[in-house]
Chains A and B, each alone.
Chain A
Amino acid sequence: MSARMPPRFRPSNIVLTLLAVLLALLGLTMTGAARRSQQADRAAADRALVRELGLTDLSLFTEARYGRHLSQADRHSAFQDHPAALEHFPSGGLLPPPPHLAPDPR
């Protein structure tokens, strides 16, 4: 069956070459050498900003105050509108319980 085909265009050659290319790309994602120095510069600038302003949190969840400064919010801030107020922000639904409530605090 295969002996009749020209060797270069054998399906196995094509598929193995494709897999080799994909594996090489996987290897590249692990090294990422090209971007390293650029990223290091950016991280240094960001860390300088953190030091200068005393920043404590990432500005990922800006919808609610307790989400914006997760580490600074007091334990009741998600329920602060009135007693028994239910937390309603989407971020709140995805926030974990505080670490001290975990069974095995690290």
Chain B
Amino acid sequence: MRASLERQKYLIDYTLASLLRRKTRNLGLLLVYTLLVFLFASVLLLGQALRREAATLLQDAPEVIVQRTVAGRHDLLPADWLDHLRQIRGVSEARGRLWGYYYDPAVKANYTVMAAPERPLAEGEILIGATLARVRGIGVGDVFSLRAAGGPPALFKVAGILEPSSELLSADLLLLSETGFRALFQLPPERYTDAVLTVRNPREAGTIAQKIALSLPSSRPILRSEILRTYDAVFDWRESMTFLALGAPLLAFAILAWDKAAGLSAEEKREIGILKAIGWETGDILRMKLWEGALLSLTAFLLGYLLAWWQVFHGGARLFAPVLKGWAVLYPDFRLTPTVELRQILVLLAVTVAPYIIATLVPGWRAAIADPDAAMRG
């Protein structure tokens, strides 16, 4: 055992010396290889973390949401719909929600304005998301002015700022009382943005949605399962788009690596020939080539993956912020829960490390089985 380990160490020593003889080329390859693994791992980790975050946080979203549509567009929902919805068998509770958007020309950002009946807010008080507070540069006790639908500015006192840890949900939120909301948007009484339902048996949500669509033809029921599916599809799609964009650099690297690994230079062939002439066996040469491929690709894989992990979970995924951000002014400062799946690592390993090792081994094996004399002559 010890002798075998020592033998492998001698092979590694030799391989390293051989790699260092062409250090500029090999270091360049290591750098490009690491960068490629870093990019792929970043996309994979970010996509997975966002999918997981959405699935965890939105599992408490309303079971059924009912919107009213007019000419295919969302419209306000009359309060008598709530009574109708409560009559449907299986529905245990129906309440109206008040929410909407407010475009603030001062910072060129859209806010999500929402009535929060469970918060003890006076008519002139608001709670704001941490991102919004940061972008507007305001804090608790400050006065926040919004242009009311009627014309004159409505003044609100900032009663509190929502937890910064929840920015992924509340970056642009502006919470106010129901009376404050209705006054700001001049919303008629007995009108709601939409309705949220609680159902007795969540497995019946689909059937209840069908009943709602039948009894209220202009309604659009949205199920929690659809919300979760939407987010799954969104991140899958974005991940695929990024992978497509990364396809070109991957192909370029594949050509570079194949050229480097598969096409042995005359010098390398002569080296193998000399090694065989001085007594190395074919197995030793294959082991040496295996170490050459494994050391380079495994180092690149580990460095690239660890850098990607740090970037996604501790660096705020800043590399991909422009893709997610678009033209948005309010972009949450969020920390994703580190989630890593063994399957992901194995896929990345299979895609990046395995092909390189094979590309190193095959030509090495061809040269190793040739006659030493022929190999030395090139």
Chain A residues within 8 Å of B, Cβ to Cβ: 1-2, 10-13, 15-16, 18-19, 22-23, 25-26, 29-30, 32, 35, 39, 42-43, 45-65, 67-72, 74-77, 80, 89-91, 94-96, 99, 102, 106
* Inter-subunit contact A43/B110 (CB<8 Å): no
Mask, B193-233, CB within 8 Å of A = 1, is 01010000000000000000000000010100011011101
Please, which residues of chain B bring their CB within 8 A of the CB of A71?
222, 226-227, 230-231
Question: Nearest residue in B to A30 (C-beta to C-beta)?
Answer: B340
* Inter-subunit contact A54/B332 (CB<8 Å): no
When A46-B166, A95-B234 are in contact, do A74 and B302 touch as well, CB less than 8 Å?
no
Please, which residues of chain B bring their CB within 8 A of the CB of A95?
234, 237
Chain B residues within 8 Å of A, Cβ to Cβ: 8-10, 12-14, 16-17, 50, 53-54, 56-62, 65, 67, 69, 72-74, 97, 101, 109-110, 112, 114, 116, 118, 129, 131, 162-163, 165-173, 175, 194, 196, 220, 222, 226-227, 229-231, 233-234, 236-238, 241, 295, 298-299, 302-303, 305-306, 309, 323-332, 337-338, 340, 342, 345
Q: Chain B's interface: helix, strand, loop or mixed, by majority?
A: helix
- Which residue from B74, B295, B327 sits with its C-beta under 8 Å from A89? B327
A50 to B162, CA, bound (A): 13
* Inter-subunit contact A58/B169 (CB<8 Å): yes
- Which residue from A10, A55, A61, A80 sits with its C-beta under 8 Å from B169? A55
* Inter-subunit contact A1/B14 (CB<8 Å): yes
Distance in angstroms from A56 CB to nearest chain B CB is 5
Please, which residues of chain B bring their CB within 8 A of the CB of A54?
61-62, 65, 97, 196
A8 to B223, CA, bound (A): 64
When A10-B13, A49-B169 are in contact, do A56 and B129 touch as well, CB less than 8 Å?
no
* Inter-subunit contact A59/B299 (CB<8 Å): no
* Inter-subunit contact A47/B56 (CB<8 Å): yes
When A11-B12, A46-B169, A90-B327 are in contact, do A53 and B116 touch as well, CB less than 8 Å?
yes
* Inter-subunit contact A61/B74 (CB<8 Å): no
* Inter-subunit contact A63/B337 (CB<8 Å): no
Please, which residues of chain B bring their CB within 8 A of the CB of A18?
299
A99 to B230, CA, bound (A): 7
* Inter-subunit contact B238/A94 (CB<8 Å): yes
A64 to B16, CA, bound (A): 54
A8 to B5, CA, bound (A): 15
A64 to B69, CA, bound (A): 20
A62 to B90, CA, bound (A): 35
Distance in angstroms from A41 CB to nearest chain B CB is 9
* Inter-subunit contact B330/A70 (CB<8 Å): no
* Inter-subunit contact A26/B53 (CB<8 Å): no
A60 to B238, CA, bound (A): 13
